[in-house]
Amino acid sequence: MADEKSRWETLKSEAEAGRLYLDPSVATSCRDASNKQIALFHDLQRNLSALSSVSGLGRFDCADELAKMLGMKAIGGERDFDTAFKEHIEVLELIRDTIEISVKKYEQQQADQVAATNTLLGDLDSGGK
């Protein structure tokens, strides 16, 4: 996950610097998909507390240990789901933010080109009269 996060941090920097542009028609669906996945992971994360309290495995010491181990897999244990969701959300937020930045830069570039063209045409019109 660290590689993905690093990759998207680099891409976000490239977008902020104006070196990465995405077509708005493509980027919109990618942004929406990212937001949908982020919302799903947040929902799943909220449900983890119910999974962290495991019961019904019997009245044995080993059953208690197994219940504790399974509960820790949800929240607080090594390589638990809560941490995994947080990491995935961070990467998805980077993806979404990178897309947003690149679209804004693309739209600004388009607006600047239109303004420059209009200025050039205006200069040509005023010089030709």
The string of pLDDT tens digits covering residues 63-105 is 988 989 999 999 999 999 999 999 999 999 999 999 999 888 8
> What confidence tens digit (pLDDT) does each residue in 18-45 have?
888 888 888 889 999 999 999 999 999 9
> Hey, what are 22's tokens?
């995405």
For 20-70, give the DSSP string: ----HHHHHHHHHHHHHHHHHHHHHHHHHHHHTS---S-SSHHHHHHHHHH
* Per-residue confidence band for 51, with pLDDT thresholds at 50, 70 and 90: confident
Distance, CA of 73 to CA of 68 (rounded, Å):
9
Query: Closest by alpha carbon to 5, among 13, 105, 31?
Result: 13
